[in-house]
Structure 1
Amino acid sequence: MLPLPFKIIITIFSLNSLVTASIKWERFKFEDKDAFILMPKKHSELNIPWVFYAPTLRGLPNERDEGWMINHFLEAGIAVAGIDVGESYGNIEGRNLYSKFHNFLTQRKKFNPKACLLARSRGGLMLYNWAANNPKKVKCIAGIYPVCNLRSYPGLERAAPAYKMSASELANSLSENNPINRLQNLAKADVPIFHIHGNVDTVVPLKSNSGIIAKRYQRFGGNMQLVVPKGQGHNMWEGFFKCDELVNFIINCAKENKVKPPKAKLLWKGGKFTEGPSVSSDGSVYFSDVGANLIYKYNPKTTKVTNIRPSSGRANGIIFDHMDRLIACEGANTEGRRRISITKKDGSIITLTDNWKGKRLNSPNDLAINKRNKLIYFTDPRYVGNEERELDFEGIFMVDLNGNTSLATKDIKKPNGILVSEDGKTIFVADHEIIPNGSRKLLSFSIEPNGELSNKKVLHDFEEERGIDGMALSPNGDIYATAGSGKHAGIYVFSHEGDLLRFIPTPGDPTNCTFGHGKNQWTLYVTAQSPRDGETRTYALYELDLIE
């Protein structure tokens, strides 16, 4: 065998011995560039799992910051390696050098042909661009506030010289040189991604880097998880470098213990259009079947489903108040009562409201209770039903427990799922039109002292995809939203700022969701289409056990 044409000068020493002497660094010159390898004491003889780290500028990585992560990788039998390609900003020369280094490590050092990439800051440009050229050589990508967008950092003017282009030439070649424009092949190769990125990062802004990656990668069918520490920027906060989720993600991928998303467990099927799950104080799950004009009760102890309201008034969203009374949005269409009703503990049903200023409601859809001011907020669109409309808009209303109804806002096109934040200061609502080029957005509003809504913000735009139907707040305050259709059908997890944190697929198009209580607080109940069974497909109730 002919020797490989690599230029290598090797020295071995311990770096940062004042901090720790536990890590032995093999530092050497490769193609006249500084490179390093960290070998675990115990490892396989062939196909050694490894982490490809970037950048190695100015002494990175080092034991002071990355030492905790590195030790966990080494203890797991995973090597770590990297090479300084200079301030490449992900240019072609840097990518080519990465490929040579990868060949050296896989052929000479017997490293696994597939690397786990770990990008910190500008290392994102370097590793993502190399990964986009070599998706079959990548097991996973992890990032600590990684740069993924040349426009965001360092900017095209500053990056252009590294690419031997003018800024305008670089702008015209972003499809070949900008990570956020090069994700499709990685998604096709089923490369999982994990990022941790602070929400107040002004150097590498979250939304224009990891935020765009998360949104686009999901649309390509890729699997990504985003962790967003609140109040953290582009800094040396310990939580970035001692992140159990990041380290476990890399170790699992390196050892090919692929972490699969939670699987939906089918509890019941046979509905015409299930919706509005809500959990009562005893843990029972109530849900509506809009198509069948029924409300069901699922008992987790007996696993039995019973019909508790045979004529529901086309109930859609339902919720329990502090007295454990069932409050329902009754819609339009045949037998629809177009009201907010309360089913008392004794089974009697009363109307809380059915009008605003004497005009009948359109078709109440979903509701949420503000614990701070005891107001019930409900959305009032019109999707179906030929009943004559008395309101010339589709808005969000608020009603108190005495039935006094006020308009919260009509600054929305077709409101659907709705939530109130735990502190009672913010409303989250789905604007979901089903017409071509319609609004399919996750919005937020500030709640004014009088209960009215203001300061509308667009948190996420689903564009051409099916938007959000129903939503739930998780125990840690994240928004779990049911949206998407076909391969995009599932639970979209958002931060309060609209960052897409995670996507959990469902067997069919989902309609709504809710969390359990107490020991079941991380059990998510979901109404959605049933699994395809031959030519027949109904609607169903599922549960997902989410580990937090």
Structure 2
Amino acid sequence: MKKLLMTVIICICSIQIITAQQDTPVATSTYPGEPFDFFGYDARSFTFAGRPAKLAFPREAAPGNPWIWRALFWGHEPQTDTALLRIGYHVAYIEVADLHGSPAAVEVWEQFYKYLTTTFSLSPKTVLECFSRAGLIGYNWAARHPEQVACIYADAPVLDIKSWPGRKGPVSAKNDKGEQKKLWEQCLQAYGLSEQEAMTFKGNPVDNLKPLAAHRIPLLHICGMADEVVPYEENTGVLVKRYHALGGTVREIKKPGVGHHPHSLTDPAPIVQFILENNRER
């Protein structure tokens, strides 16, 4: 009888230990990369595919390990990122600005996505956050992998290389001061295009919206209506008309103002609400 009782006690203790181990989060010291503080949250900086990368961790991950992919400009106007961290989202980033959304950039993103979803078990679907020129890589990757995208939040996004950095559109050409010449040359090299070929190039985000519309991916665009750097008329304005024609939905927040495009919102609540509405299952 004593032996039986002892066996039961040992079994109960073993179950409690196993359960405790399963409920205990992985110690942050085991995360790869160099630790740093991201607005009060634990984050890691590391190199992936020869490029700088970062990942910020919530204090407690929401069910399914949801995440937002900050396409470029880590830490700029971070209020949406920190609001999502607060409710259990991860924030990921890899630097590909020099590739201007070209197929080489998409390939890097494909590798990074696989790394994040396997190594850290992040959700199979991500939320994309695309500021300015990040619209190129965000939308080009999404068009290739729409099944991996829950929704897209784009902020004054570049959606056509002719507009930026080319400055070849009707509005952008008027404000061209030659400051983007080196970036335009870099962009053409990344795509393997001559300037003449770029004028008829159909690999821009505005040209490849069918896969996104077919998967009913919701879009939120925030734009300054007097933006001279990334003109609304040449970018978001074109996307909205074409996406609606394909049966897609775009929510717009238009901001008055002059000069360079002002990003984000002081209060990110509308952005966060959009993301949560369209990523509920994650």
Q: Which residue of 61, 64, 67 corresponds with 1:50?
A: 67
Q: Secondary structure at the match of 1:169?
A: helix
Structure with greater strand share of residues: 1
The answer to whether the 8 Å contact 1:145/1:234 transfers is no
Q: Which residue of 22, 27, 30 corresponds with 2:48?
A: 30
Alignment of 1:170 onto 2:193:
no
Q: Structure 1's 87 and 108: CA in aligned 2 closer, same or farther, altered over 3 A?
A: same
Q: Which residue of 141, 144, 158 corresponds with 2:152?
A: 141
Alignment of 1:242 onto 2:255:
no
List aligned pairs for 1:462-477, cutoff 5 A. none
Unpaired stretches in structure 1, ≥5 consecutive residues: 1-7, 258-548
Q: Whole-Å Cα distance in 2 between the matches of residues 114 and 232 of structure 1?
A: 36
Q: Structure 1's 66 and 256: CA in aligned 2 closer, same or farther, altered over 3 A?
A: farther
Q: Whole-Å Cα distance in 1 between the matches of residues 266 and 157 of structure 2?
A: 13
Structure with greater helix share of residues: 2
* Cα distance, 1:68 vs structure 2: 1.9
Q: Whole-Å Cα distance in 1 between the matches of residues 112 and 93 of structure 2?
A: 8
* Cα distance, 1:236 vs structure 2: 4.5
Q: Secondary structure at the match of 1:242?
A: coil
Unpaired stretches in structure 2, ≥5 consecutive residues: 1-30, 169-183
Q: Which residue does the alignment assign to 1:229?
A: 255
Q: Whole-Å Cα distance in 2 between the matches of residues 10 and 48 of structure 1?
A: 19
Question: Residue 61 of structure 1 aligns to which amino acid in structure 2?
Answer: W
- Measured on the aligned residues, the alpha-carbon RMSD in Å equals 2.1
Question: Residue 102 of structure 1 aligns to which amino acid in structure 2?
Answer: Y
Q: Secondary structure at the match of 1:154?
A: coil
Q: Secondary structure at the match of 1:255?
A: coil
Q: Whole-Å Cα distance in 1 between the matches of residues 42 and 59 of structure 2?
A: 10
Q: Whole-Å Cα distance in 2 between the matches of residues 234 and 139 of structure 1?
A: 29
Alignment of 1:187 onto 2:213:
yes
Question: Residue 220 of structure 2 aligns to which amino acid in structure 1?
Answer: F
Q: Which residue does the alignment assign to 1:14?
A: 37
Q: Structure 1's 236 and 223: CA in aligned 2 closer, same or farther, altered over 3 A?
A: closer
The answer to whether the 8 Å contact 1:78/1:254 transfers is no
Q: Write the deviation string for residues 383-408 of structure 1: whole angstroms up to 9, x where unpaired.
A: xxxxxxxxxxxxxxxxxxxxxxxxxx
Q: Whole-Å Cα distance in 1 between the matches of residues 62 and 220 of structure 2?
A: 26
Q: Which residue does the alignment assign to 1:219?
A: 245
Q: Which residue does the alignment assign to 1:132?
A: 143
Q: Secondary structure at the match of 1:66?
A: coil
Q: Structure 1's 13 and 94: CA in aligned 2 closer, same or farther, altered over 3 A?
A: same
Q: Secondary structure at the match of 1:14?
A: strand
The answer to whether the 8 Å contact 2:66/2:89 transfers is yes
Alignment of 1:61 onto 2:74:
yes
List aligned pairs for 1:348-427, cutoff 5 A. none
Q: Secondary structure at the match of 1:207?
A: helix
Q: Whole-Å Cα distance in 1 between the matches of residues 240 and 93 of structure 2?
A: 26
Q: Which residue does the alignment assign to 2:103?
A: 92
Q: Whole-Å Cα distance in 2 between the matches of residues 165 and 210 of structure 1?
A: 24
Q: Write the deviation string for residues 397-441 of structure 1: whole angstroms up to 9, x where unpaired.
A: xxxxxxxxxxxxxxxxxxxxxxxxxxxxxxxxxxxxxxxxxxxxx
* Cα distance, 1:233 vs structure 2: 4.6
The answer to whether the 8 Å contact 1:115/1:139 transfers is yes
Q: Write the deviation string for residues 350-376 of structure 1: whole angstroms up to 9, x where unpaired.
A: xxxxxxxxxxxxxxxxxxxxxxxxxxx
Q: Which residue of 71, 79, 83 corresponds with 2:82?
A: 71
Structure showing greater Rg: 1
Percent identity between matched residues is 30
Q: Whole-Å Cα distance in 2 between the matches of residues 129 and 233 of structure 1?
A: 27
Q: Write the deviation string for residues 156-182 of structure 1: whole angstroms up to 9, x where unpaired.
A: 75321121221223334x32x200001
How many residues matched?
A: 235
Q: Whole-Å Cα distance in 2 between the matches of residues 243 and 70 of structure 1?
A: 9
Q: Secondary structure at the match of 1:254?
A: coil
The answer to whether the 8 Å contact 2:52/2:95 transfers is yes
Alignment of 1:252 onto 2:277:
yes
Q: Write the deviation string for residues 286-306 of structure 1: whole angstroms up to 9, x where unpaired.
A: xxxxxxxxxxxxxxxxxxxxx
Q: Secondary structure at the match of 1:148?
A: coil
Q: Whole-Å Cα distance in 2 between the matches of residues 36 and 225 of structure 1?
A: 29
Higher relative contact order (CA 8 A, sep 6+): 2
List aligned pairs for 1:516-531, cutoff 5 A. none
Q: Which residue does the alignment assign to 2:120?
A: 109
The answer to whether the 8 Å contact 1:76/1:251 transfers is no
Q: Whole-Å Cα distance in 1 between the matches of residues 150 and 260 of structure 2?
A: 26
Q: TM-score when scaled to structure 2?
A: 0.77
Q: Which residue of 57, 61, 86 corresponds with 1:39?
A: 57
Question: Residue 43 of structure 2 aligns to which amino acid in structure 1?
Answer: W
Q: Whole-Å Cα distance in 2 between the matches of residues 90 and 212 of structure 1?
A: 18
